[in-house]
Amino acid sequence: MSIKNNHHVDAIETLKRIGVRMTPQRNAILSYLLSSTHHPTAHDIYEALKKDYPNMSATTVYNNLRLFKQASLVRELTYSDASSRFDANMMEHDHVICRRCGRITDFQYPLLQMAEREVIQATGYSIESHRLEMYGLCPACQAEEP
């Protein structure tokens, strides 16, 4: 079984454990999120799935995203454009964001985890999370520049 399939099975088990019934729409939204690497908005998810699930409303997508967030299956990323994006990669990672097209790419920087440990040691804080975002131009947008 692939890692992606393991994440899907684990996510379904998490939802069942908290008493959530798996509907075809809920499963489709979850599958879309787990297979997505582009950090979709709720609208992106709705547009991608509405053809296969014509009875699914945008409200269904929003409600399920809220449920997945409460179950710690996705994280909500908010940016200055006021549209939330959703990330099902719950491993500790950071993001680089294209200032032109809005593409978001995951990256891991081990030195940042080392810095976090040093902050804990120096301050005595219990660090719950951090968020590092870098902005620039993605390779596709760079190629379009004169």
Find how far residue 61's CA is from the centre of its chain: 14
Which two tokens mark 136? 């620039």
Contact 135, 94 (CB under 8 A): no
Mean residue pLDDT across the chain: 90
Q: Which CATH number fits domain 94-144: 3.30.390.30, 3.30.1490.190, 3.20.20.70, 3.40.50.300?
A: 3.30.1490.190
Looking at the chain, the domain(s) classified CATH 1.10.10.10 span 3-87
Contact 67, 80 (CB under 8 A): no
Q: Which of 72, 5, 4, 74 is nearest to 39 (CA)?
A: 74
Q: Report whether pLDDT(141) > 50.
A: yes
Q: Which CATH number fits domain 3-87: 3.30.1330.180, 3.40.50.300, 1.10.10.10, 2.30.33.40?
A: 1.10.10.10
Looking at the chain, the domain(s) classified CATH 3.30.1490.190 span 94-144
To the nearest 10°, the Cα dihedral for 23, 9, 68, 107? -140
The residues pairing with 107 across neighbouring beta strands, listed in sequence order, are 94
Place 4 in a pLDDT band, splitting at 50, 70 and 90: low
pLDDT digits (tens, 9 = 90+) for 64-112: 999 999 999 999 998 766 689 999 998 889 999 999 988 899 998 889 8
Distance CA(88)–CA(30), nearest Å, equals: 9
Amino acid letter, residue 34: L
pLDDT of residue 1: 45
Q: Give the least confident one: 44-48, 82-86, 118-122.
A: 82-86
